[in-house]
Structure 1
Amino acid sequence: MKSPTQLKVILATTFALLAFAGNSVLCRLALGDGAIDAASFTIIRFLSGSLVLVFILLLTRLIKQQSPYKEQKRSTGRGSWLAGFMLFLYGVTFSYAYISLDTGMGALILFGAVQLTMILISLLSGNRLHYFEWTGVVIAFSGFVYLVLPTLSTPSMTGFILMTLSGVAWGLYTVKGRGCKDPILDTTYNFIRTLPFIAILLLLTIQSASLTQAGIIFAVLSGAIASGVGYALWYFALRGLSVMQAAALQLLVPIIAAIGGVIFSSEAITIRLVISSLAVLGGILLVLLGRQYLHPSSGKEV
């Protein structure tokens, strides 16, 4: 039977992964149809995310003040400028990369960069990977490659570099979040720290801005729900996940996004999607359960 803390981590992880996939779907709907330009999408996304997080933070503080069980010590978490910059770098390069990359190619480059970044950080930190974990990562990533392989073509160098930077930034942001003590507080301050970079982006691109009502709505939903709330829950979930678990779980996002494409864009469910989903889920299962059940003496961290 799972503890309340474990259940909270599972629920937070599930919502966060759905939010990540939601960002991909919303970005594709907005930029793919030309409803908004990449810079405006990024700016509105981060502004709306910041506002929602500030509201959530104030609401939670009000609830705590009225609770009879008040905390003895106030949280000292305030995020960091490094995390804030990584968050902005991920968002802006993600938006601009999709101007010159198709969806499958962009997703492969993004999550490939995330995986490589987090695995490299794990190894540099002195963590040894068991062969079950290596096997799981290879199977999961192979399943993802199998899913997007039919759409692959030679990418533009600009798009490739931008999406690689986006993946590296998100990998660093994820690892940075594992030391988080107060997810909502840290995420809020990280979003607020993106505002100076957002202001610079606005000054540089305001002359070429292209907005529609639909594009603004997509950007607000991406920022307020899929980014603001989703990232706060992801920071919470990271406290109960190892680096490799977090890396492997994010391979689910392309699968969930593909399902979102079926629902919102009437894309067909193919045998290829089913096979790749089984490969990804099977690989993730090896990563998550390998050490805990097969070699419990090796500990949780990887």
Structure 2
Amino acid sequence: MRLFLLTFVTMLAFAANSVLTRMAIDGGHIDPSGFAMIRVLSGAVVLGMVMTVKGGQLPLLRRARITGALSLAAYMIGFSLAYLTLDAGLGALILFGVVQMTMFAHAAWSGAGPTARQIAGAGVAFCGLLLALWPGPGGQADPLGAGLMVLAGLGWAAYTIAGRQSADPTAATAANFILCLPVLAILLIGPALEVRPTGVALAVVSGGLTSGLGYALWYSVLPRLEQSVAAIVQLSVPILAILGGALVLGERPGAIVIAAAVLVLGGIGWAVSARPLPAGRTAARRQD
């Protein structure tokens, strides 16, 4: 029961990032650049405090930090800018779909032979993602916003893949947040920065609470979950974001967005719940 509650709180924190970002930026309380900067700074401070309590060291001078900092910067920039035009739930759906599809493709490219069921599930999810991304009436994504969220998804997928081999994910995340700051400063700081107290507060909550502490909690829960379970529980994030956007922001997802969500989440759920292909067998030889 305790593991379930901790996992639910973590997924709620991840979904809250979409709602908080949309609330701050679409509400005109802060510009995307300022939000991204304050979010990363707050996350770095909180994660640094966690590492101080744990007594660990920050692995700043590592080659992996280059990939970590750059991919995290791509995620933060794309995520913040996309919410100028995307609803919270739709943005979370695109982000989640791109991350999962990218990681699935990476696993297949790395030699993990997918089963027929995994290929079919990924195909369904990809069709749903195309439906969500297709411009037009019916509540579909703004093309620019969708493209920026795809960038965010690719950045987060690269960040996740690069950090899989980390001996201490919390320490690595803290180091990546710290090193991401100068990258964002170079790319984002300019005369168009607009920061108001409400926007700062929302960015601090997003960075320090739902990102910093959320990531730390996820890393503490993750080793106690089976890999397939860990993938499946993340299916709840876009749903929670859609509900949060409706309840907090008054967003109303259209029929096409709902259909896309069913295809993306259903396809990914079908794929990740499949049993892995036994060693020495190919996907073509297995009837799943």
Residue by residue, what CA displacement relative to the aligned partner does 1:265-299 show, whole Å, maximum 9, x if unpaired?
A: 3456998888777666654543343207xx7x569
2:166 alignment counterpart:
180
Residue by residue, what CA displacement relative to the aligned partner does 1:3-41 show, whole Å, maximum 9, x if unpaired?
A: xxxx85x66654433222111000110011111111110
**Aligned pair count?**
275
Instruction: Report the structure, 1 or 2, having the larger helix content.
Output: 1
Residue pair 2:117, 2:271 contacting (<8 A) in 1 also: yes
The answer to whether 1:60 aligns with 2:54 is: yes
Residue pair 2:87, 2:245 contacting (<8 A) in 1 also: no
CA distance in 1, matches of 2:159, 2:6: 17
Aligned counterpart in structure 1 of residue 275 of structure 2, from 291, 297, 300:
291
Match runs of 1:1-302 below 5 Å: 13-61=7-55, 80-101=65-86, 103=88, 106-139=91-124, 150-152=138-140, 155-156=143-144, 159-201=145-187, 204-205=189-190, 207-236=191-220, 242=227, 250-267=234-251, 282-291=266-275, 297=278
Post-superposition offset of 1:52: 0.7
TM normalised by structure 2 equals: 0.77
The 1:169–1:278 alpha-carbon spacing in structure 2 relative to 1, beyond 3 Å, is closer
Unpaired stretches in structure 1, ≥5 consecutive residues: 63-73
CA distance in 1, matches of 2:256, 2:86: 21
1:70 alignment counterpart:
none
Report percent identity of matched pairs: 38
Q: CA RMSD in A?
A: 3.8
CA distance in 1, matches of 2:216, 2:235: 19
CA distance in 2, matches of 1:119, 1:81: 23
1:68 alignment counterpart:
none
- Give the partner amino acid of 2:113: R
Unpaired stretches in structure 2, ≥5 consecutive residues: 284-288
CA distance in 2, matches of 1:199, 1:148: 30
Residue by residue, what CA displacement relative to the aligned partner does 1:17-69 show, whole Å, maximum 9, x if unpaired?
A: 3222111000110011111111110111011111111111111229xxxxxxx
TM normalised by structure 1 equals: 0.74
CA distance in 2, matches of 1:13, 1:133: 25
